[in-house]
Amino acid sequence: MAAPATTAGDLNESAVATDYAGLVTRAIALGIDAAIVEGSLLLIAAMLSLIASLVGGVEFSNAAKVLSAAGWVLITAGYFVVGWSTSGQTLGMRAMELSVLTADTLLPPRLLQSIVRVVFLGLSILLLFTGFIPVLFDARRRGAHDMVARTVVLRADAVP
- Rounded (10°) angle between helices 62-86 and 23-55: 140
- Please tell me the total number of residues recorded for the chain in this structure: 160
What's the rounded Cα separation, in Å, for the pair 48 and 87? Answer: 32
Structural domain for 64, as ranges? 19-158
Residue 2 binned pLDDT confidence (cut-offs 50, 70, 90): very low
6 within a domain of the structure (yes/no): no
pLDDT in tens, 33-77: 999 999 999 999 999 889 988 988 778 889 999 999 999 999 999
Residue 8 lies in a domain: no
Q: Comparing C-alpha atoms, which of 41, 144, 34 is closest to residue 92?
A: 34
**C-alpha neighbours within 13 Å on the C-beta side of residue 74:** 6
Domain assignment present for residue 25? The answer is yes
pTM of the model: 0.86
State the alpha helices, DSSP H only, in the chain: 8-14, 23-55, 62-86, 91-95, 111-126, 144-149
Let me know if residue 151 belongs to a domain.
yes
- Does residue 58 form part of some domain? yes
Tell whether the model's pLDDT for residue 6 goes beyond 60.
no
SS3 110: coil
Nearest to 108 by CA among 157, 159, 148: 159
Per-residue model confidence as pLDDT tens digits over 104-148: 999 999 999 999 999 999 999 999 999 999 999 999 999 999 999
Tell me whether residue 4 is in a domain.
Answer: no
Query: In the structure, what pLDDT confidence band is assigned to residue 7 with cuts at 50, 70 and 90?
Result: very low
- Structural domain count, the chain: 1
